[in-house]
Amino acid sequence: MHSLQLHASTFGLKPIKSAVLAVACLVLTPGWLPLPFLGAALAQTSGASSDQRCHTDDAQDEGDQHPDIHKLQQPDTRPNCESDRVANPRERQRMERYFGDLVARRMW
């Protein structure tokens, strides 16, 4: 389910609604629509899900809200994570020291 949600997000839809639409799409769409592209997106996002920083909102979406919106389907071209959020080791140490000192045991 989680990977399906990631995949749905890749297609620009919210998870629950997207799952329903994806199934409907498989059943109803004519063969000329780009189904291979669905598989490619799945492969791409399942790789992304192994990175803990590549996450999507897994909160339940409202299935029936805004029937006319979110219908533009554009595939994402990149996973939902950003390498630039990683601090260098020195900065990481500085952050950990800061928060270690902020609530030190002597304050309890």
Residue 69 binding other proteins, by CB under 8 A: yes
Distance CA 35, CA 38 (A): 5
Interface with other proteins, residue 2, by CB under 8 A = no
Number of chain positions touching other proteins (CB under 8 A): 44
Q: Does 72 help bind other proteins (rule: CB under 8 A)?
A: yes
The verdict on 89 binding other proteins (CB under 8 A) reads no
Q: How far apart are CA 59 and CA 2, in angstroms?
A: 11
* Start-to-end CA span in the chain (Å): 43
CB of 31 to other proteins, least distance (A): 26
Instruction: Note the helical H segments in the chain.
Output: 2-10, 15-28, 35-48, 89-102
Question: What does the block give as tokens for 38?
Answer: 């669905």
**Of the residues 23, 26, 33, 86, which one makes contact with other proteins according to CB under 8 A:** 86
Choice between 27 and 107, CB closer to other proteins:
107
Residue 32 interacting with other proteins (CB under 8 A)? no
